[in-house]
Amino acid sequence: MNKPKVVILGAGYGGLTTTVKLQKKLGVNDAHITLVNKHDYHYESTWLHETAAGTLHHDRGRYAIKDVINSGKVDFVQDTVTAIKPDENKVILENGELDYDYLVVALGFEAATFGIPGLIENAFTIGSVNQSRLIRQHIEYNFAKYNNESEKNESRLNIVVGGGGFTGIEFLGELADRVPQLCKEYDIDRNLVRIINVEAMPSILPGFDPQLVEYAMNSLESRGVEFKLGAMLKECKPDGIVIEKDGEQEEIATNTTVWAAGVRANHLVEESSLEHNRGKVEVKPDLRAPSHENVFVVGDCALIWNKETDRPYPPTAQIAMQEADVCAHNLATLVKGGGDLESFEFNNQGTVASLGHGDAIGVIFGNKKLFGWSASVMKKVIDNRALLKVGGIGLVLKKGKFNIF
């Protein structure tokens, strides 16, 4: 008997969680499951800012995919997807192609650059292990270079972070911890180093609890972060940026611009024939694409409307993993010949953002505010929980965060 072919694209939070859940629900004879991912490892996207700042080694935030999948039930293909062809039930890879009966698109996010001149060429982004270790190396190189030049180049020591959303703020927290270590290592006066955040809105973390925003600003400022609020980053050059505030333009010299001002879905979604809304698939409640019944979309490639706020849910790992549960259930139901499909309901467990080692802010259980050490412990619990969900206690013991002091 021909087994239905299930192909899952991407082994991030959405794709890998779908895979490990599905392999538990299906027997070897139920389906032929294939997972495709660019690398042979999964990385915790939510830890990438730590790798980028150099406060966490990249190996701590990644693990081998083969360690969490059941190779008796799932074929892992390490390859890069180059096109999705839903009208032909086919996916094109760099090194071949796959056909499917059911597809899960979980290819994640990429930086949104909004056509700002010079960003693609000159800015760094925090989007993968490779991008993050490049940032770490680049910052360290500039510190090392500084005292090797007779003519001192201050732009080597100016680090600009574009965007004061959660990614920008978490990265600033790590940088604020890392810079004093780098100064010590390379004999540089801390006062010569500038860490500058450029945020277009009048406040960082727009829309988040004002008291916690103030706490975050104070925490970061006390560790030497400068904020340029209400300032749009307009251009990025190899040796500086142009910002505009109150109609006035200012240039800031820097060799290091890290663009953390927004994300979009993987471009392959927009390039496919899947019906999309600004590059994301506005999925049905059962997480299938409205234009293609046999295609599920989860994580940052999917768009789900929050009826309470009349806005889409923000793209987060939390929602990607919850979607994966429903996606695995619905796929298993269809593969086994039908039945009722579940509808996705977001269970908001709160938001906690780190501000470096030992400091964080967050809102949990609906309205409970946390800050400081307790929020930081909670952030580590959340990080460990993601490991637990995919790889069980063994993975938590291997990769988990336990350094709470």
What is the binding site for ligand FAD (CB under 6 A)?
Answer: 10-15, 36-39, 45-46, 48-49, 80-81, 106-109, 126, 167, 170, 266, 299-300, 315-318, 320
Report the length, in residues, of the chain: 405
272 token code pair: 């496919």
Q: Give yes or no for residue 200 binding ligand NAD (CB under 6 A).
A: yes
**Residue 11's binding partner out of ligand FAD, ligand NAD, none, with CB under 5 to 8 Å set by partner kind:** ligand FAD
CA 294 from chain centre, in angstroms, equals 26
The residue whose Cβ lies closest to ligand FAD is 12
Among the residue ranges 21-29, 192-200, 215-223, 368-376, the one whose residues contact ligand NAD (CB under 6 A): 192-200
By a kind-dependent CB cut-off of 5 to 8 A, residue 320 interacts, out of ligand FAD, ligand NAD, none, with ligand FAD
- Choose the contact partner of 356 out of ligand NAD, ligand FAD, none; CB within 5 to 8 A by kind: none
For residue 273, CA distances in Å to 44, 84, 100, 303, 398 come to 29, 8, 16, 16, 41
Is residue 205 left, alpha or beta, with left meaning phi > 0 and alpha meaning psi from -120 to 50?
left
Using the CB atoms, write b or e for 372-392: b if 16+ within 10 Å: eeebbbbbbebbbebbebbbe
170 catalytically annotated? yes
Least distance from ligand FAD to the Cβ atom of residue 253, Å: 26
Q: Tell me how far, at minimum, the Cβ of 278 lies from ligand NAD, in Å.
A: 13
The catalytically annotated residue of 50, 170, 199, 323 is: 170
- Find out whether 296 and 261 touch, Cβ atoms under 8 Å: no
Pairing relation of β-strands 109-111 and 263-265?
Answer: antiparallel
The item of ligand FAD, ligand NAD, none sharing an interface with residue 376, based on CB under 5 to 8 Å by kind, is: none
Would you count residue 266 as binding ligand NAD (CB under 6 A)? no
- What proportions of the chain, in percent to the nearest 5, are helix, strand and coil? 35, 30, 35
Other CB atoms within 10 A of residue 308 CB: 8
Buried b (16+ CB within 10 A) or exposed e, 13-35: bbbbbbbbbbbeebeeebbbbbb
Closest approach of ligand NAD to the CB of residue 388, in Å:
18
Per CB under 6 A, does 123 bind ligand NAD? no
Could you give phi then psi for residue 213, rounded to 5 degrees?
-65, -45
CB 256 to ligand NAD: min, Å: 16
372 binds, among ligand NAD, ligand FAD, none (CB under 5 to 8 A by kind): none
Q: Which does 80 bind (CB under 5 to 8 A by kind): ligand FAD, ligand NAD, none?
A: ligand FAD
Question: Cβ of residue 348: shortest distance to ligand FAD, in angstroms?
Answer: 11
The CA-based angle 121-123-124, given to 5 degrees, is 115
Q: In angstroms, rounded to a whole number, what is the distance separating the alpha carbons of residues 232 and 245?
A: 7
Shortest spacing between CB 119 and ligand NAD, in angstroms: 9
- Which residue, 22 or 243, is less far from ligand NAD as judged by CB? 243
Q: At closest approach, how far in Å is the CB of 205 from ligand NAD?
A: 7
> How many other C-beta atoms are found inside a 10 Å radius of the C-beta of residue 153?
14
- Please state whether 118 falls in left (phi above 0), alpha (psi between -120 and 50) or beta: left
Q: How far apart are CA 374 and CA 371, in angstroms?
A: 6
Q: What is the DSSP letter of 71?
A: T
Q: Does 132 bind ligand NAD (CB under 6 A)?
A: no
Ranked by CB distance to ligand NAD, the top (closest) residue is: 165
Q: Which of 134, 229, 232, 381 binds ligand NAD (CB under 6 A)?
A: 232
Q: Does 316 bind ligand NAD (CB under 6 A)?
A: yes
Among 127, 165, 240, 391, binds ligand NAD (CB under 6 A): 165
3-state secondary structure of 116: coil
For residues 333 to 362, the per-residue mask of contacts with ligand NAD, x marking binding by CB under 6 A and - elsewhere, is ------------------xxx---------
Q: Which listed residue (4, 15, 54, 162) binds ligand NAD by CB under 6 A? A: 162
Residues serving a catalytic function are 170
